[in-house]
Amino acid sequence: MSHDLIQELIDKAESDLLHLSDTIAELRESMSHLMEQNNQLKLKNQELTDIILSKDIENDVLKEEDSILIENKPSGRDRLQAYYDDGIHICHEFFGMPITSGEECLFCNKFLEELEKRDSSKSA
């Protein structure tokens, strides 16, 4: 193999690698965007389920599986805490965005604290 050919192959490999690296960065960004959307849909879906269930309670048209859901239903705060523990921002600032592992969000913590205060003043 001539030196020129080897040099040409190295150049091509280097350019392919750079291209691949760009593609990976694009994929990473798309995945992060999709995760964020998925999280937002999850939270929205839960909110809508709650609204439907509370309407059913008002209208007294509960199905058997609804009653089971309600009996085992965690409080809104507990559920948001669970989402936060699962690594999803529940604060208005970054709603639905994934939390980098080990990271803490001051906005989320403050929001949970406020909900805690509201819950405890309600039950007192």
Chain residues in the site for Zn ion (CB under 5 A): 89, 91, 94, 105, 107-108
Q: Which is nearer to Zn ion, 89 or 124 (CB)?
A: 89
How many residues are there in the chain?
124
Q: Which residues partner with 98 through β-bridges?
A: 88
Least distance between Zn ion and beta carbon 33 (Å):
17
- CA separation, residue 36 to residues 6, 8, 31, 83, 102 (Å): 45, 42, 9, 13, 18
Can you say whether the dihedral through the CA atoms of 83, 87, 91, 96 is positive or negative? negative
Least distance between Zn ion and beta carbon 119 (Å):
19
Give the nearest residue (CB) to Zn ion: 105
Least distance between Zn ion and beta carbon 94 (Å):
5
Least distance between Zn ion and beta carbon 116 (Å):
16
Q: Which is nearer to Zn ion, 14 or 93 (CB)?
A: 93
Compute the distance between CA of residue 85 and CA of residue 65 in angstroms, rounded to an integer.
Answer: 27
Q: Which is nearer to Zn ion, 70 or 87 (CB)?
A: 87
DSSP 96: T
Q: Which is nearer to Zn ion, 59 or 101 (CB)?
A: 101
